[in-house]
Structure 1
């Protein structure tokens, strides 16, 4: 026996997808605000010597939200809510890019680039020795 196809509910599917995106947006804003306040409060403490360690909390928080959105997208796709699933997959892709950006930013902050070789300094007039009598000035190295 075959099962009948699921009923077509495009308008409800789109509205439910928009509702979920708004709720997830609120969740992301709350997480961003909380993590921002955490960083702001840490700025009042004593500065550590050397580069700070990698702060994995933002990466883990946004990674967990991305994972939850992916699970919800998969469940919506299995349930026949194709428009909602498409919006959830799009939101998961954007959250994944944001999570990756947080990870790269934290890694770069904790591992600053070493300064490259510097060009040799040219002698300035303060290093030059000028003798009275109108002769030429003698500069070190040239």
Structure 2
């Protein structure tokens, strides 16, 4: 005796996808609020000298939510729920972009560019003005 395949219910699939997207949106919003409160409370302490260390918590938090969304999408695709899987893949992609953005921001905050050396107005470099369209510079006194 063979078993019949499950009936396709596109509206149920679509509603499950919307419900999961709303749930993940709430989780991402809660994570963002907690991260914002963490940053806000970190500013109340004594100031540090030098650049701050890299904060991996936002990267790991949003990366975890993106990973869970990817696993849900894979499971739903294997279960035949294409609409839900598509929504989960979209959510995982957006959360992955947010994770990369947080990682780049944290990296640039913890690794600032070295300051440019200041040129005094009386130095040779400050007086040298290049007026020849690509040739050698004409510098007064040099």
Q: Do the structures match in fold with TM over 0.5?
A: yes
1:3 CA displacement? 6.1
Deviations 1:5-57 (A, max 9, x none): 44211111111100100010000111110111011000000111100000000
Correspondences of 1:27-106 after superposition (within 5 Å):
27-106=27-106
Distance of aligned partners of 1:11 and 1:107 in 2 relative to their CA distance in 1, 3 Å threshold: same
TM-score by length of 1: 0.80
TM-score by length of 2: 0.80
Q: Secondary structure of the residue that 1:62 maps to in structure 2?
A: helix
RMSD, aligned CA? 1.8
Deviations 1:46-70 (A, max 9, x none): 1111000000000000011111111
C-alpha distance in structure 2 between counterparts of 1:4 and 1:100, whole Å: 44
After superposing the two structures, state which structure 1 stretch, 4-13 or 92-101, moved more: 4-13
**Structure 1 residue runs of 4+, over 2 Å off?**
1-6, 115-118, 120-123
Structure-2 residue corresponding to 1:24: 24
8 Å contact from structure 1 (residues 6, 80) kept in 2: no
Structure-1 residue corresponding to 2:9: 9
Q: Secondary structure of the residue that 1:47 maps to in structure 2?
A: coil
Whichever of the two has the greater Rg, that structure is 1
Aligned residues: 124
